[in-house]
């Protein structure tokens, strides 16, 4: 039901439609794109890190730098050549006990998703679960692989372990088996929300109980603005049920197309099952991208060497930028909608790129068009990300790639649109 | 039948086994790897082409170079940013009338294969055809997607159009439909053979008749040693049935992971069907690698700009190197096996990386091991590439990545092994 062609084509057509809207109304202020801020990219400097990695590679292999350069340009190991550096960064920055042998470097985190979901859901009736709404990249993989993707959300008063038990039982009853659970616990795309430690532990307990592999996506974790850090699920995972997905698209830049998957040492207690998943991940990758570009691996590897393993210092300026934008957005929303007594509401994301705004009316494609055309502001309907018919009054506001100076103006425009809509309704 | 797990695992275990053999017998001379020769890689110079592409990009967009650099580091169009340069190179070097709008740049040619085979074979019973033996990358994609891959070969006296008619009828009878035909017409991997123009035209006629999309892979076409060039099938394709697959892994280097698929303007006469395939290719790609690394696209684009559109001059030295190696291999084979009155035979590839050798006994995993262990030479059993039980006495000899000086010694070792085997048999 959730991966029928109509739903898929409607999601894709929203994407096309948004691109079209951006082209058609070039003066519109856009909160639609969740791209990282370009102003902090330093591609020239990062390309300059390639020789740093070559030196490291030569030292490690006891070869000349010139031979290392030849080897870098050649085909290479499917799992990559920077696993040790990635593992070190995840140990330092995310406190994940991560061994290089468990890392598969991928052509962006999306490739890891595209390999893992079909690897986990092999039999007819195998289902992947996801929080709802969810990142379109997970939905797209499931759609194209013909795998059902199902929303999973706790009912009132239910903890996650019970939710997972309930959903697993319902699926079993329908002859189906949940194999994976995709989620972004930290500053979720599209909602900007965080799962607290208790929720994370409860999810792990439920997943272990029902042998569901958690795919923990964490593109935004390095961009926390305030409050205490919640441990990554992979760091809480004693039982072996979490595959951690890392990406350098937001900390460095998307053009490197370097991400990674970290497979635990044991999967539900079984070392051989974990090894099988790890091997299958590499096998599948060898028939998609062969290996991740060793040029871009060298960029990421060189930067990790220069930064001595941690990217915290490097992301400090963009992190402050995203926080300023978040603050500007919150102020603008308060100014524009604060007097509406909760008719319009929003969350206060403690990090990341996104905020979720709830409107007093449904907001779909038609409204997106009217809003862009008549009021010069582009926002993303939340239904673009939903796996069912809920969240119809919500929109996603991305504040990562908008100029601080445009945020207030954009929200004002949105408020005029909301005024126009609600005066029609009342 | 051909994509059952046992066949797959036996192919994969041969691959593992060959890697193991190389590690276990480090002094063995290897004809196993079809990697391009490293000595001609000039990664440092190629990285230096990035600014050339940035200048070009800035001029094209009317922006500053610094803005172009930011945009390059960002997410970008799914189909790529160097389609016009790729199209120009294919026009100049391969005489393919190719419009930039029909090009999708991929993370290596393997990604294009991994997207196209499932895009063509969507219904149960849809089958992909391949010449036999065939490149393992096509087989692996079909295996993991659960799509049957079937060998197709003319019977004696049969032309290709009749072969395709026969196979299509047989499949129809079994409730199946051939949707694609994968082949490398020029210096095939693994056999090193070429389809002549008549054969190519006959394949096109048969494929048009039965609505089979040709996937024309051409990694070795730039490395012709002698004789007149045969036009690429995409250049002969008036009816619209050939998707051309390009790669820069052999002309530049594998580490760029840049390839491309070129979709014809009309597919079996239908522009909308062609557009649908093109759109689906991009859609599927967006859920696998999002877009091909713009850093490595800039390397390829910059080199294409520097070379004024043609890579012919750049590949001249490696081409001569491969030819020297081919000649050394032919001489060594003649010396070692010439007196055996055709008991051992081989082809004379007019280009590419591979030669096919036929032995007077079956050569499988066990023989590979014995040959490496007892005689210090590693060759690839042809059964690794076959889709059925044929070609059991053949081996593939790759001469691309072997030192000329080692070729004679390697063939001598192989001859001693063959002597030992045949003296046992006789």
> What per-residue confidence (pLDDT) applies to A10?
65
Q: Indicate the Cα dihedral angle A317, A319, A321, A326, nearest 10°.
A: -170
User: Of the candidates B75, B77, B145, B79, which has an alpha carbon nearest to the alpha carbon of residue B281?
Assistant: B79
Q: Would you list the domain boundaries of chain A?
A: 5-40+315-425, 45-306
Q: State whether residue A257 sits within 8 Å of chain B by CB.
A: yes
Helices (H), B99-216: 109-120, 136-145, 160-173, 197-209
At B13, is the pLDDT very low, low, confident or very high (cuts 50, 70, 90)?
low
User: Distance (Å) from the C-alpha of residue B158 to the closest C-alpha of chain A?
Assistant: 33
Instruction: Please say if the pLDDT value at position B254 is more than 80.
Output: yes
User: B35 by DSSP, 3-state: which?
Assistant: coil
- For residue B18, how many C-alpha atoms fall within 13 Å in the half-sphere facing its CB? 19
What's the rounded Cα separation, in Å, for the pair A202 and A193? 17
User: Of the candidates A233, A260, A240, which has an alpha carbon nearest to the alpha carbon of residue A87?
Assistant: A260
User: B404 by DSSP, 3-state: which?
Assistant: helix
> With contacts defined as CB-CB under 8 Å, which chain A residues touch B290?
108, 110, 137, 254, 257
ipTM of the complex: 0.96
Among B12, B70, B253, the residue with its CB nearest the CB of A73 is: B253
Fold of B45-306: 3.40.640
Instruction: Please say if the pLDDT value at position B6 is more than 60.
Output: no
Give the range among A130-134, A326-330, A338-342 with minimum mean pLDDT. A338-342
User: Of the candidates B255, B223, B248, which has an alpha carbon nearest to the alpha carbon of residue B300?
Assistant: B248
User: Distance (Å) from the C-alpha of residue B245 to the closest C-alpha of chain A?
Assistant: 14
What's the rounded Cα separation, in Å, for the pair A346 and A334? 10
Phi, psi of A317 (to 5 degrees): -65, -50
> What per-residue confidence (pLDDT) applies to B225?
98
Angle at B425 between CA B421 and CA B426, to 5 degrees: 120
What's the rounded Cα separation, in Å, for the pair A29 and A11? 22
What's the rounded Cα separation, in Å, for the pair B188 and B193? 5
Between chains, do B290 and A255 touch, taking CB under 8 Å as contact?
no
> What per-residue confidence (pLDDT) applies to B26?
84
Average pLDDT over residues A136-155: 95
> With contacts defined as CB-CB under 8 Å, which chain B residues touch A256?
293, 295
Instruction: Please say if the pLDDT value at position B406 is more than 90.
Output: yes
Q: What is the side-by-side order of every strand in the sheet holding A354-358?
A: A345-346, A354-358, A394-398, A380-381
Instruction: Please say if the pLDDT value at position B1 is more than 50.
Output: no
At B423, is the pLDDT very low, low, confident or very high (cuts 50, 70, 90)?
confident
Q: State whether residue B289 sits within 8 Å of chain A by CB.
A: yes
Instruction: Please say if the pLDDT value at position B278 is more than 70.
Output: yes
Residue A92: count other Cβ atoms within 10 Å of its Cβ.
16
Between chains, do A35 and B75 touch, taking CB under 8 Å as contact?
yes
> What per-residue confidence (pLDDT) applies to B3?
44
User: How long a stretch of residues is chain A?
Assistant: 426
Q: State whether residue B230 sits within 8 Å of chain A by CB.
A: no
Between chains, do B74 and A35 touch, taking CB under 8 Å as contact?
yes
Instruction: Please say if the pLDDT value at position B7 is more than 70.
Output: no
DSSP label at B230? P
Task: Provide the β-strand partners of residue B397.
Answer: B355
Query: Which of B295, B297, B300, B353 has the most A C-beta neighbours within 10 Å, making it the best mutation to test the interface with A?
Result: B295
Across the A:B interface, residue pairs with CB atoms under 8 Å apart total 154
Instruction: Please say if the pLDDT value at position A407 is more than 90.
Output: yes
> What per-residue confidence (pLDDT) applies to B266?
97
Q: State whether residue B144 sits within 8 Å of chain A by CB.
A: yes
Phi, psi of B46 (to 5 degrees): -65, -40
What's the rounded Cα separation, in Å, for the pair A78 and B379? 22
Instruction: Please say if the pLDDT value at position B181 is more than 70.
Output: yes
Q: Hey, which residues 113-142 in chain B have their CB within 8 Å of chain A?
A: 114, 118, 137, 140-141
User: Distance (Å) from the C-alpha of residue A137 to the closest C-alpha of chain B?
Assistant: 6
Asked whether the bond before A278 is cis by omega within 30 degrees of 0, the reply is no
Between chains, do A108 and B73 touch, taking CB under 8 Å as contact?
no
Instruction: Please say if the pLDDT value at position B425 is more than 60.
Output: no
User: Distance (Å) from the C-alpha of residue A198 to the closest C-alpha of chain B?
Assistant: 32
Average pLDDT over residues B369-383: 95
Instruction: Please say if the pLDDT value at position B9 is more than 80.
Output: no
Instruction: Please say if the pLDDT value at position B104 is more than 70.
Output: yes
> What per-residue confidence (pLDDT) applies to B21?
74
Q: Which residues of A340-367 are buried (b: 16+ CB within 10 A; e: fewer)?
A: eeeebebeebbbbbbbbbbbbeebebeb
User: Of the candidates A254, A188, A197, which has an alpha carbon nearest to the alpha carbon of residue A227?
Assistant: A197
Chain segment B196-216, per-residue pLDDT in tens: 999 999 999 999 999 999 999
Between chains, do A293 and B255 touch, taking CB under 8 Å as contact?
yes
> What per-residue confidence (pLDDT) applies to A12?
65
Among B73, B111, B137, the residue with its CB nearest the CB of A255 is: B73
Percent of all residues in chain B with a pLDDT value above 90, rounded to a whole number: 90
Q: State whether residue A10 sits within 8 Å of chain B by CB.
A: no
For strand A380-381 and strand A394-398, is the pairing parallel, antiparallel, or unpaired? Answer: antiparallel
Please write down the HEC assignment for all residues of chain A.
CCCCHHHHHHHHHHHHHHHHHHHHCCCCEECCCCCCCHHHCCHHHHHCCHHHHHHHHHHHHCCCHHHHHHHHHCCCCCCCCCHHHHHHHHHHHHCCCCCHHHEEEECCHHHHHHHHHHHHCCCCCEEEEECCCCCHHHHHHHHHHCCEEEECCCCCCCCHHHHHHHHHHHHHHCCCEEEEEEECCCCCCCCCCCCCHHHHHHHHHHHHHCCCEEEEECCCCCCECCCCCCCCHHHHCCCCCEEEEEECCCCCCHHHCCEEEECCCCECCEHHHHHHHHHHHHHHHHCCCCCCCHHHHHHHHHHHHHCCCCCCCCCHHHHHHHHHHHHHHHHHHHHHHHHHCCCCEECCCCECCEEEEECCCCCCHHHHHHHHHHHCEECEEHHHCCCCCCCCCEEEEECCCCCHHHHHHHHHHHHHHHHHHHHHHC
Q: Which residues of B63-73 are buried (b: 16+ CB within 10 A; e: fewer)?
A: eeeeebbbbbb
What's the rounded Cα separation, in Å, for the pair A103 and B177? 40
At A7, is the pLDDT very low, low, confident or very high (cuts 50, 70, 90)?
low
Give the range among A105-119, A245-259, B168-182, B410-424 with minimum mean pLDDT. B410-424
Q: State whether residue A108 sits within 8 Å of chain B by CB.
A: yes
At B15, is the pLDDT very low, low, confident or very high (cuts 50, 70, 90)?
low
> What per-residue confidence (pLDDT) applies to B10?
65
Among A50, A118, A257, the residue with its CB nearest the CB of B289 is: A257
Per-chain mean pLDDT for chain A:
94
At A2, is the pLDDT very low, low, confident or very high (cuts 50, 70, 90)?
very low
Residue B148: count other Cβ atoms within 10 Å of its Cβ.
21
> With contacts defined as CB-CB under 8 Å, which chain A residues touch B248?
none
> With contacts defined as CB-CB under 8 Å, which chain A residues touch B295?
43, 47, 255-256, 293, 295-296, 299
Helix H or strand E segment including B126: strand B126-130
> What per-residue confidence (pLDDT) applies to A426?
52
> What per-residue confidence (pLDDT) applies to A18?
73
Residue B171: count other Cβ atoms within 10 Å of its Cβ.
20
Between chains, do B70 and A38 touch, taking CB under 8 Å as contact?
yes
Between chains, do A110 and B290 touch, taking CB under 8 Å as contact?
yes
Average pLDDT over residues B95-104: 97
Instruction: Please say if the pLDDT value at position B370 is more than 70.
Output: yes
User: Of the candidates A272, A183, A166, which has an alpha carbon nearest to the alpha carbon of residue A220?
Assistant: A183
What's the rounded Cα separation, in Å, for the pair A83 and A76? 13
What's the rounded Cα separation, in Å, for the pair A105 and A286? 12
- CA-nearest residue of chain A to B257? A293
CB A375 within 8 A of CB A412: no
Instruction: Please say if the pLDDT value at position B385 is more than 60.
Output: yes
> What per-residue confidence (pLDDT) applies to A44?
95
User: Of the candidates B117, B116, B87, B102, which has an alpha carbon nearest to the alpha carbon of residue B275?
Assistant: B102
What's the rounded Cα separation, in Å, for the pair A225 and A321? 10
> What per-residue confidence (pLDDT) applies to A19?
72
> What per-residue confidence (pLDDT) applies to A372?
93
Chain segment A11-60, per-residue pLDDT in tens: 666 667 777 777 788 899 999 989 999 999 999 999 999 999 999 999 99
Query: Which of A66, A288, A353 has the most B C-beta neighbours within 10 Å, making it the best mutation to test the interface with B?
Result: A288
What's the rounded Cα separation, in Å, for the pair A32 and A380? 5
Average pLDDT over residues A377-400: 95
What number of helices (H) and strands (E) belong to chain B?
15, 13
Higher pLDDT, B174 or A19: B174
User: Of the candidates A277, A78, A97, which has an alpha carbon nearest to the alpha carbon of residue A180?
Assistant: A277
Q: State whether residue A295 sits within 8 Å of chain B by CB.
A: yes
Average pLDDT over residues A141-146: 94
What's the rounded Cα separation, in Å, for the pair B416 and A262? 47
Among A69, A254, A289, the residue with its CB nearest the CB of B257 is: A289
Q: Does domain B5-40+315-425 have CATH number 3.90.1150.10?
A: yes
């Amino acid at each position: 039901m959730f991966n029928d062609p109509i739903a898929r084509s409607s999601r894709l057509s929203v994407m096309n439609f948004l691109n079209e809207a951006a082209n058609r109304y070039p003066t519109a202020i856009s909160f639609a794109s969740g791209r990282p801020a370009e102003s902090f990219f330093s591609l020239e400097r990062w390309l300059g890190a390639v020789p740093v990695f070559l030196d490291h590679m030569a030292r490690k292999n006891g070869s000349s730098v010139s031979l290392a350069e030849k080897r870098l340009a050649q085909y290479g190991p499917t799992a990559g050549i920077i696993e040790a550096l990635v593992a070190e960064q995840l140990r330092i920055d995310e406190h994940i006990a991560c061994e290089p042998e468990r890392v598969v470097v991928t052509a962006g985190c999306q490739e890891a998703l595209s390999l893992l979901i079909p690897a986990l859901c092999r039999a007819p009736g195998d289902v992947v679960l996801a929080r709802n709404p969810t990142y379109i990249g997970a939905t797209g993989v499931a759609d194209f692989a013909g795998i059902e993707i199902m929303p999973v959300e706790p009912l009132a008063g239910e903890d996650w372990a019970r939710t997972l038990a309930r959903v697993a039982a319902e699926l079993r009853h329908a002859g189906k088996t949940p194999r994976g659970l995709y989620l972004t616990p930290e500053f979720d795309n599209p909602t900007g929300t965080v799962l607290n430690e208790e929720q994370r532990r409860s999810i792990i307990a439920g997943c272990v109980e029902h042998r569901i592999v958690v795919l923990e996506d964490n593109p935004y974790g390095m961009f926390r603005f305030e409050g205490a850090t919640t441990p990554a699920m992979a760091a809480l995972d004693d039982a072996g049920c979490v595959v951690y997905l890392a990406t350098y698209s937001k900390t460095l830049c998307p053009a490197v197309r370097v991400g990674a998957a970290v497979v635990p040492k044991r999967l539900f207690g079984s070392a051989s099952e974990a090894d099988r998943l790890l091997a299958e991940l590499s096998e599948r990758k060898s028939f998609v991208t062969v290996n991740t570009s060793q040029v871009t691996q060298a960029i990421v590897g060189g930067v990790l060497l220069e930064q001595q393993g941690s990217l915290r210092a490097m992301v400090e300026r963009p992190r402050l930028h995203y926080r300023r934008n978040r603050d500007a957005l919150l102020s603008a929303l308060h100014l524009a909608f604060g007097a509406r007594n909760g008719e319009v509401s929003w969350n206060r994301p403690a990090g990341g790129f996104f905020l979720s705004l709830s409107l007093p009316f449904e907001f779909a494609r038609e409204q997106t068009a009217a809003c862009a055309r008549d009021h010069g502001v582009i926002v993303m309907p939340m239904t673009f990300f939903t796996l069912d018919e809920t969240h119809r009054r919500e929109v996603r506001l991305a504040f990562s790639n908008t100029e601080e100076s445009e945020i207030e103006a954009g929200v004002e425009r949105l408020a005029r649109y909301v005024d126009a809509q609600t005066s029609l309704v009342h």
